Structure 1
């Protein structure tokens, strides 16, 4: 994707943040338990993409 101006780029990146160590530990445990990415995302209140293996 090509950004036409800085405003579009800022809009797309708004709200982005890294998962914390604690969230990653929770993801590992929930995946081992058999939870789906979607259900884990709901529990952690994050988007499901960073949870995918």
Structure 2
């Protein structure tokens, strides 16, 4: 069965890449016991932190 989920990822600092966000989301899916093989992240965009640290 395919999971239908929509997530948005926002980086907390300027050193995080879009791949870091993608990996963090996949790690979160693991924490939720979701089957990573049935999850595909179609789009992941890093939003600038606007100076927040």
TM beyond 0.5: no
Name the structure where helix makes up a greater proportion of residues.
Answer: 1
TM-score scaled to structure 1, two decimals?
Answer: 0.39
Structure with greater Cα Rg: 1
Highest RCO, 1 vs 2 (Cα 8 Å, sep ≥ 6): 2
